């Protein structure tokens, strides 16, 4: 039995809706996968955090960025690198401090392990936490991340000599 023009139109529209629905589902699932187990920081909705996540690179340390639905959060790879803007700024600490392109960073020893490094920007509000899970990716990524953080005015330094 031949299909009428109207029947073909209805079938075509239905197929289009199914395709759009599938695309939305895939997008929602990939965003959910990027966010799995994560939560936004206390001050993640700050305008500076929005600027940081909006301008974060599409690739970092050789890893592609994945969409996150969480405010102030950016994810690269399979959560190999996680940026959370709006964390509580660290105070003076015995944890190691280093500078990359004029941005001071603290290695949070309490949260770091042998395969996971947690660093937090120092002397800038809002503070930004970056988690590197696994080996590698850190040096090149820190240069790019420091460019994102540098526009936030630095009020104190963890490295005395400047």
In this structure, the answer to whether residues 64 and 114 fall within a common structural domain is yes
Could you report the per-residue pLDDT of 67-96, keeping only the tens digit for each?
Answer: 899 999 999 999 999 999 999 999 999 999
Residue-number span of the structural domain to which 137 is assigned: 38-149
In this structure, of 97-101, 124-128, 146-150, 158-162, the range with the lowest mean pLDDT score is: 158-162
pTM: 0.77
Local confidence band at 7 (pLDDT 50, 70, 90 cut-offs): low
Alpha helices by DSSP H, 45-136: 47-55
Find, among 159, 145, 155, the residue nearest to 93 by Cα.
159
> CA–CA distance from 74 to each of 34, 70, 110, 116 (Å)?
9, 8, 22, 17
In this structure, the answer to whether residues 23 and 79 fall within a common structural domain is no
- Is the per-residue pLDDT at 145 higher than 80? yes
Give the number of domains in the chain: 2
In this structure, the answer to whether residues 7 and 58 fall within a common structural domain is no
Could you report the per-residue pLDDT of 17-75, keeping only the tens digit for each?
Answer: 333 333 333 333 344 566 878 989 999 999 999 999 999 999 999 999 998 999 999 99
């Amino acid at each position: 039995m031949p299909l009428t023009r109207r029947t073909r139109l209805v079938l075509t529209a239905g197929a289009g809706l199914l395709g759009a629905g599938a695309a939305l589902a895939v997008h929602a699932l990939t965003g959910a996968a990027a966010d799995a187990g994560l939560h936004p920081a206390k001050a993640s909705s700050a305008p500076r955090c929005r600027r940081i996540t909006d301008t974060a690179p599409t690739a970092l340390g050789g890893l592609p960025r994945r969409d996150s639905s969480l405010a102030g959060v950016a994810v690269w790879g399979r959560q190999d690198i996680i940026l959370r803007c709006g964390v509580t700024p660290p105070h003076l600490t015995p944890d190691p401090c280093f500078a990359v392109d004029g941005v001071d960073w603290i290695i949070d020893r309490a949260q770091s392990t042998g395969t996971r490094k947690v660093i937090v920007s120092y002397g800038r509000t809002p503070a930004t936490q970056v988690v590197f899970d696994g080996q590698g990716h850190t040096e090149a990524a820190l240069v790019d991340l420091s460019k994102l953080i540098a526009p936030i005015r630095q009020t104190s330094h963890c490295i005395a000599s400047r």
